Amino acid sequence: MKNIKKLISAALISMFAFSAVGCNMIAKTPEAIAKSSVAVVNGEKITRADLDKNPNMMSVIAQAKQQYGENYDKNEDAKEVIKTQRQQVLDNMITEKVVAQKAKELNLLPDEAKLKAEVDKQYNDVKKQQFGNDETKFQEALKQQNFTEQSLKELFLSQLRSQEMYKNVSDNLTKSVKIDDKKVQDYYNANKNQYTEKPNQIHIAHILVKTEDEAKKVKDRLDKGEDFAKVAKEVSTDPGSKDKGGDLGTVPYVDSNLDPTFIAAAIALKEGTISAPVKTQFGYHIIKTIKKQEYPAKSFDSVKAEIKKQLEDKEKQNVVSQKIDEWKKAAKITKYDKNLQ
């Protein structure tokens, strides 16, 4: 009797072991990988196929094929890059799924018939503008990008659907946003250098070091009369300006592409003066303002509408971002990182 029980037990173990192996084998097939869930959002799946058909992900995969060849998925470097990109794209898709679910709940989803009509128009316009009547070239271009006419239309539809959905949700959430005249006036008074008749400009030089103590020593040397350019060449860690004596050239006050704290400190200086140590994400700077070109501010009335729209857009963006964060925190989201490989 005991021997029979052992045989039955052994048979069950073998059966389950075979089943487990079988499941793993199935999971590794392309079909099973495509169907595997990479995330579930409030009960709705996002599959690996959904993820890899995302336009951003398709672009990443196309680049990987160009760099590593058709067997890119066997290259460890390519696999790591693609996995990182999949994680980022998936986060965006999860957000979009949450918003889509809320849009459906609030009856804010766009009209599919109108979307499809617009897609057909966009598709035909693009085709005509880029290929004219040359159907052969058009088909060759589709094939080169791994598209069919149907898949390209589906891509257009997906993008347009997403745009319209976000617009509907945003309009609904921000319909009560108002910016009063006092806020507009206050912003104008505090930011007049953004609304000058011509763009204000500033010629700057700097010395960048790692620590505050180093910056203080640099400032002490300059206060004792050492030449700014000479000291910059000796100690600055900024490779782009070091050999030029720290000279960054002339930049606009607005949209300078410099660190906001840095440019604000430079603007606050008088011409020909040197700052105390200024800390930014890059380290500690000693800044020299060489020359300023400043122009009168435009009248408040001439820029009032522009500022009001700017402040309203910013407030609307904040409202929408906060609400989407709330929705995501309340959502039941499960991610399956193992299926991103």
Q: How confident is the model over 106-162, as pLDDT tens digits?
A: 999 999 999 999 999 988 888 888 888 788 988 888 887 777 888 888 888 988 999
User: Taking residues 46-72, what's their average pLDDT?
Assistant: 84
The CA distance from 100 to 279, in Å, is: 43
* pLDDT at 28 (0 to 100): 61
Q: Is 278 helix (H, G, I), strand (E, B) or coil?
A: strand
The CA distance from 129 to 248, in Å, is: 43
pLDDT of 14 > 50? The answer is no
What pTM was estimated for this model as a whole? Answer: 0.72
* pLDDT at 81 (0 to 100): 86
Q: DSSP class of residue 72?
A: G
Residues 6+ apart with CB under 8 A from 311: 179, 183, 184, 187
What is the pLDDT confidence band of residue 9, given thresholds at 50, 70 and 90?
very low
Phi, psi angle pair for 50, to nearest 5°: -60, -45
The closest alpha carbon to 161, from 192, 212, 116, 213, belongs to 116
What number of other Cβ atoms are within 10 A of residue 249's Cβ?
A: 12
* pLDDT at 153 (0 to 100): 87
Q: Do residues 204 and 289 lie in contact, with contact meaning Cβ atoms separated by under 8 Å? A: yes
Which of residues 141 and 292 earns the better pLDDT score?
A: 292
Length of the chain: 341
Which of residues 258 and 57 earns the better pLDDT score?
A: 258
* pLDDT at 308 (0 to 100): 97
- Residue 143 exposure: Cα atoms within 13 Å on the Cβ side: 6
Q: If residue 144 lies in a helix (H) or strand (E), which one and from where to where?
A: helix 135-144
pLDDT of 31 > 70? The answer is yes
* pLDDT at 79 (0 to 100): 83
Q: Is 251 helix (H, G, I), strand (E, B) or coil?
A: strand
